[in-house]
Amino acid sequence: MSEAVPVPEAHADVEHHAAHHHGPPTSFIRKYIFSIDHKVIGIQYLLLALFSVFVGLIMSVLMRMNLTWPDHKWPLLGSLFKVGAPGGQMSPEFYLSLVTMHGTIMVFFVLTTAPQGGFGNYFLPIQIGAEDMAFPVLNMLSFWITFVGLVVLVSAIFVEGSAAFSVSINPNSAIAKWVAKYLEGGGSGTVGPIGGWTGYPTLSALGKIAGPGQGAGVTLWITSIAIFCVASLLGALNFITTLLNMRTRGMALMRMPLTCWSWFTTAILALLSFPVLLAGGILLLLDRHAGTSFFIPGGLVVSDKLLTSHAGGSPILWQHLFWFFGHPEVYIAILPGMGATSHILSTFARKPIFGYRAMVFAMFAIGLLGFFVWGHHMFISGMSPYSGMAFSVLTLSIGVPSAIKTFNWLGTLWGARIRFTVPMLFAIGFVSLFVAGGITGLVLGQTSLDLSMHDTYFVLGHFHLVMGVAAIFGMFAGMYFWFPKMFGRMMNQTLGYIHFWPTFIGVYAIFIPMHVMGLVGMPRRYASFAEYQFLTKTHPLVMLVTIAAIITAFTQLIFLFNFFWSIFKGPKASDNPWEATTLEWTTTTPPPHDNFGGKLPTVYRGAYEFAVPDAPDDYVMQTTPDATEANVAADGDGHTGQGSTGNGHDGHH
């Protein structure tokens, strides 16, 4: 075996960055609050998402309680939400406000924030052998802008006269006057945002004259989304630059872990899609506050009055802008989960990932096709049947790269001696949920079927399975897998098993019955179904879903306890407790400030070298050289000195 590999001249940029890397902070504020260390920022993102997911979870339980027992009075609810639930009975406006806030918090501040901002920030630099992100200060700003966006969003439900709370503000104060001017008179009896997480015009474009729930809260909601878009764009630029320019010696693109590919693809999707949503949000604010008519058509009558100040706009334009962002957002949420699942399945199957290159190309194909299928959300908007057919064909074509990934996951597991650890169970659960949700997606991708199921509980069940719960299972898998490296301690595996099984069974008990309800015709976003005779037969299913949701929600307290208890009391973790192969397991636990103790690693092989013949163990680290790999790494690829052969053991052992 070769003992050393010369440093190619092309690595000057990496070595220069290492020489000028920022030193460890000394003050508490610079170390834990305004830190520019990517690891601290990653943990900050994860804690932000953890707070957000439990807020969203509480909102979902409140919604289920109202749907199941619409006439019941809950004294505690009435004392907490005196305006939204007077006397303990939830108002329809408060219910719709919960729907809006739940969807927005979960989509943006959980499903987008945790996989990319959390795990991606922490592990992308380590997995490619870098000391930090390319732009550390920009990384810090991205987090704090995201934090401001969450604060603005949560404040939408606290504005005076909102659907939930009654807040007393001195109307003569300077702050109250400014708020009243910007928020269209927040104290005029308007409620929190009730337009759903999609915020469709024309109601959202008109302001408070459109009725309850379209005043102050919607303005704050739009502002929050715009702020989040800015943070996501900054983060995406940082991720792309880091991966392309900061890879260590020998780290060819085709030697990177699939997690890095997933974060890279997600960053590209974010860079191309979030500007469209940002532009749409700005136009929507202009319609509300500047008298423009981007989304407001002419001849509109509101409260028996003809709006003569608006003409020429189209509410369908917002749908095009929103869903051009919205469908790539599905993959922004789930692609990191795909990467983590591939990473974990290979590790605990003790086999190389089956078809590494095919997995990379399938990931890019999914991301690319995601930009051409936004119209399947708009089949009932009056679009041309020919456009509908084109969008339908493109939508169904995403099933091809998705099937490639699924079959390759199964190929990785086939014939393996699987270690059924907690992260492995959640990774397998991710595959199960992705397949279940994908099958129902094939149904909704067909125009003729979608017309009758649009805006029903069938859609609700579908996107929660494939986008929501599957992505969260990917996060759980990543958390249980990387927790030892992040905090230096092991999570309790027994509590992990207890957490997994009720959660796995519970999510199916929640969302499979929703498909049945949708086939019956139950519409979503209704606060109560008591008045609809044809839906009375679905009440047992409604009850089942609610009970399953409550049990599943309380099960997450097990994870919460395990997470914080293990940080302080868990058993000490070794540097490589899972016997994995990638670079994060070559450094100390937890990693030092500069990740590798001042010396960047050299990579000689692919990311998933398991079951290598004649190897002393059943795995070989990426930093373990042999004569052939050392020569390849020394030759370089003409860009950053990385070996050009990629994953030399691409699933062919």
In DSSP notation, 246-273 reads ---TT--GGGS-HHHHHHHHHHHHHHHH
- Say how far apart CA 125 and CA 569 lie, in whole Å: 28
Compare 481 and 19 and report the one with higher pLDDT.
481
SS3 content of the chain, % helix, strand, coil (to 5): 65, 0, 35
- Determine contact, residues 488/589, Cβ cutoff 8 Å: yes
Residue 226, amino acid: A
Query: What pLDDT is stored for residue 255 in this prediction?
Result: 97
- Say how far apart CA 221 and CA 284 lie, in whole Å: 11
In terms of average pLDDT, the best of 78-87, 348-357, 631-640 is: 348-357
Q: What is the mean pLDDT of residues 86-93?
A: 89
Q: Is the pLDDT of residue 293 over 80?
A: yes
Residue where the block lists tokens 């370089």: 636
Quick one: pLDDT band at residue 457, thresholds 50, 70, 90? very high
Q: Is the pLDDT of residue 108 over 90?
A: yes
Rg of the chain taking only CA atoms, in angstroms: 26
597 Cβ contact list (under 8 Å, min separation 6): 587, 588
Quick one: pLDDT band at residue 647, thresholds 50, 70, 90? very low
Compare 101 and 633 and report the one with higher pLDDT.
101
For the stretch 575-601, pLDDT in tens is: 999 999 999 999 999 999 999 988 999
- Determine contact, residues 344/302, Cβ cutoff 8 Å: no
Query: What pLDDT is stored for residue 631 in this prediction?
Result: 55
- Say how far apart CA 209 and CA 570 lie, in whole Å: 56
Query: What pLDDT is stored for residue 627 in this prediction?
Result: 58
233 Cβ contact list (under 8 Å, min separation 6): 270, 271, 274, 275, 278
Residue positions counted in the chain: 653
- Determine contact, residues 485/591, Cβ cutoff 8 Å: yes
Q: Is the pLDDT of residue 114 over 60?
A: yes
147 Cβ contact list (under 8 Å, min separation 6): 48
Percent of the chain at pLDDT > 70 equals: 87
- Determine contact, residues 314/205, Cβ cutoff 8 Å: no
What stretch of H or E contains 340? helix 315-349
pTM to 2 decimal places: 0.90
Q: Is the pLDDT of residue 5 over 50?
A: no
Burial of 299 (0-12, 13-18, 19+ CB in 10 A): exposed
- Say how far apart CA 323 and CA 276 lie, in whole Å: 9
> DSSP label at 215?
S
Closest CA to 549 of 598, 490, 505: 505
Q: Is the pLDDT of residue 7 over 50?
A: no
533-566 in b/e burial notation, b at 16+ Cβ within 10 A?
eebeebeebbeebbebbbebbebbebbeebbeeb
In DSSP notation, 389-449 reads HHHHHHHHHTHHHHHHHHHHHHHHHTT------HHHHHHHHHHHHHHHHHHHHHHHTSHHH
Burial of 48 (0-12, 13-18, 19+ CB in 10 A): buried
- Mean pLDDT value across the chain: 88
Q: Is the pLDDT of residue 247 over 70?
A: yes
Compare 212 and 467 and report the one with higher pLDDT.
467
Percent of the chain at pLDDT > 90 equals: 72
Distances (CA, A) of 240 to 81, 244, 262, 266, 379: 44, 6, 11, 10, 34
- Say how far apart CA 18 and CA 6 lie, in whole Å: 17
Q: Considering Cα of 368, then 374, then 375, then 379, what sign does the dihedral take?
A: positive
Q: Is the pLDDT of residue 638 over 70?
A: no
- Determine contact, residues 353/338, Cβ cutoff 8 Å: no
Query: What pLDDT is stored for residue 174 in this prediction?
Result: 57
Compare 629 and 518 and report the one with higher pLDDT.
518
Q: What is the mean pLDDT of residues 536-549?
A: 95
Q: Is the pLDDT of residue 422 over 50?
A: yes
Query: What pLDDT is stored for residue 3 in this prediction?
Result: 38
Query: What pLDDT is stored for residue 310 in this prediction?
Result: 74
Domain-wise residue ranges, the chain: 9-295+310-569
What is the longest distance spanned by two Cα atoms in the chain? 85
Please give the backbone phi and psi of residue 312, each rounded to the nearest 5 degrees, phi first.
Answer: 90, -5
Give me the CATH code for the 9-295+310-569 domain, please: 1.20.210.10
Q: Is the pLDDT of residue 258 over 80?
A: yes
Q: Is the pLDDT of residue 10 over 70?
A: no
Two tokens, residue 321 = 């802008």
Query: Which residues are paired to 523 by β-bridges?
Result: 456
Q: At what angle do helices 385-397 and 399-413 cross, to 10 degrees?
A: 20
- Say how far apart CA 509 and CA 544 lie, in whole Å: 7
Query: Which residues are paired to 572 by β-bridges?
Result: 489
Q: What is the mean pLDDT of residues 526-541?
A: 90
In DSSP notation, 519-551 reads HHTPBSS-S--TT-GGGGGGHHHHHHHHHHHHH
Q: What is the mean pLDDT of residues 119-139?
A: 97
Two tokens, residue 264 = 């890279």
Q: At what angle do helices 470-487 and 422-444 cross, to 10 degrees?
A: 150
Q: What is the mean pLDDT of residues 450-466?
A: 95
For the stretch 91-106, pLDDT in tens is: 898 999 999 999 999 9
For the stretch 189-228, pLDDT in tens is: 345 788 899 999 988 998 888 877 788 889 999 999 999 9
Query: What pLDDT is stored for residue 172 in this prediction?
Result: 57
- Say how far apart CA 440 and CA 589 lie, in whole Å: 42
Burial of 192 (0-12, 13-18, 19+ CB in 10 A): buried
